[in-house]
Structure 1
Amino acid sequence: MLLTDAADGLAHRTTATWAEASRLPLCLLTGAMQGRRVLDELFAEAGVRPSPRVETDSVAALFAHVRTGRWAGIVPHTWLHVFGVPYGMRAVPMTEPARTVRVGLVANAREPGSVMARALTEVAHRTDVAAAVERLPAAPGSQQ
């Protein structure tokens, strides 16, 4: 999802392209992070290369920067359920290309292991995460 100022022309559209997003003053995750590598692949598929004005290694910091209204950001839609859409911003789905990305859970096999890791692994085995995400209500302020 593209998070952009509500006054921006893209904010009033139902979708935004990666090429359009590349021209915005972006705040993105750093290139060392997997999430950024995925974004860079999508930008490359669209034939563009972003020039972010701000880079961070924290999703919370990304949202804090975007909240100022000085930068736009690109985040997975599920993060909007955690942080919400910052005041004065709009969340616009990204297209051209539109793609979902698989994520994985990695846990250390050492014994005795972490109680939290075991509990998370057990829940992951019992849960259809994709179906659970689809049942989430639309994030506040999104164009869904």
Structure 2
Amino acid sequence: MQLRALRYFVTLAREEHFARAADICGVAQPTLSSALNSLETQLGKRLVERDRRYIGLTEEGRAMLPWAQQLLAAHEAMVHAVEALGGPLRGEFRLGAIPAAMPSVGQFTQALLRQHPGMTLSVRSQTSREIMRAIEAFEIDAGVTYLDHESPSNVISVPLYAERYVFVTAEAGTQRESGAVSWQEVARHPLCLLHQGMQNRRILDGLLDAHGLSATPRATADSYIALLAMVQSGGLATVMPERYVDLIEGTDWAHVRPLAMDAAISRIGLVVGDRGPLDPVAAAALNCARRIAGESMRD
């Protein structure tokens, strides 16, 4: 059984499109289809339902998928283990990060690439649930996500920092209020927030509910950049992690105030799959995260 054919199969299952899967694998579509046909012949089972286009995996294909993912990941980890004996790691490091953590990704990536200059980095913006699914499917090497709310399972985690929130409005040319904002004041404003598929929004909803309040935003989005654009246009306000403040600091339209909270809301950290033996790439990520966390504690 060729690893190449397994890689085509796993890619097709993820992309659900023959041409797109072939493009990602760097082969022509007939080459990918031929390899899949050979794999099905070797197994004596049909793995993919198709009629000129991808329809889905058969029952046998769905049963085989997690094992194919695991075989490919084990082969990649084996290569990394051999490489690690000779020096810095090489290849692509795949990182998933929740939108709330994107401003903090730079510090981690700088540390990783400095330690392993032969590596390249691919960063994906994903929800916390997408990160966990991608780790389970061996599609990413690590994730940066929430550790305390909807806590991830079957992972090794390293806390990086505690998240706090700020309230952002557009009040250019007006008398600006100062001091912390209460949740009651937040609820009185017309809001734009992340949609409820994002864990940050579910955390905010929980905090409001704890004060007997609820939010019915006038607009939702899946990125903080979109929220800031809506706030800048006027009429709306938003709540976002304080680490985004650097993006709008010094602008003439943004008015940022802290939220009235007794403590940090939740921890954000790096997670990798809790598997043995641990892929050297995952181990390298954990080492970088621990170094960053240690430096943060000293500060």
Q: The TM-score by the shorter chain falls in which range?
A: 0.7 to 0.9
Alignment equivalent of 1:61, drawn from 226, 244, 255: 226
Larger radius of gyration: 2
Which of 1 and 2 has higher RCO (CA within 8 Å, sep 6+)?
1
**Structure with the largest fraction of helix:** 2
Which of 236, 248, 252 in structure 2 is aligned with 1:84?
Answer: 248
With 105-114 and 45-54 compared, the bigger mean Cα shift is at 105-114
Distance 1:127 1:30, change over 3 A: same
| Residues 92-140 of structure 1 deviation map (CA, whole Å, 9 limit, x = unaligned) | 0111x4431111322346899696x6654332111127937xx7xxxxx
**CA gap 1:128/1:104 in 2 versus in 1, 3 angstroms:** closer
Q: Could you tell me whether the CA contact under 8 Å between 2:172 and 2:252 is conserved in 1?
A: no
Partner residue in 2 for 1:12: 177
> What corresponds to 2:289 in structure 1?
124
Q: Which residues of structure 1 form unaligned runs of 5+?
A: 136-144
Aligned counterparts of 1:10 and 1:27: Cα–Cα separation in 2: 22
Secondary structure of the residue aligned to 1:92 is: strand
Letter of the 1:43 partner, please give it: L
* 1:103 equivalenced with 2:268 (yes/no): yes
Aligned residue for 1:35?
A: 200
Structure richer in strand, relative to its length: 2
Report the Cα distance in structure 1 between the residues aligned to 2:211 and 2:172, rounded to whole angstroms.
25
SS in 1 for 2:220: strand
How many percent identity over aligned positions? Answer: 31
Please give the TM-score of this superposition, normalised by the length of structure 2: 0.38
**For the structure 1 residues 24 and 126, does the alpha-carbon distance in structure 2 shift closer, same or farther, using more than 3 Å as the test?**
same
SS of the residue aligned with 1:31? Answer: coil
After superposition, the Cα gap between the structure-2 partners of 1:49 and 1:11, relative to the gap in structure 1 and judged at 3 Å, is: farther
RMSD of aligned Cα (Å): 2.9
- Structure 2: gaps of 5 or more residues: 1-165
| Alignment partners' CA distance in 1, 2:271 and 2:168 | 29
TM-score, normalization by structure 1: 0.73
Cα separation, partners in 2 of 1:5 and 1:112, compared to 1, 3 Å: same
Amino acid at match of 2:271: V
Residue in structure 1 matched with residue 190 of structure 2 by the alignment: 25
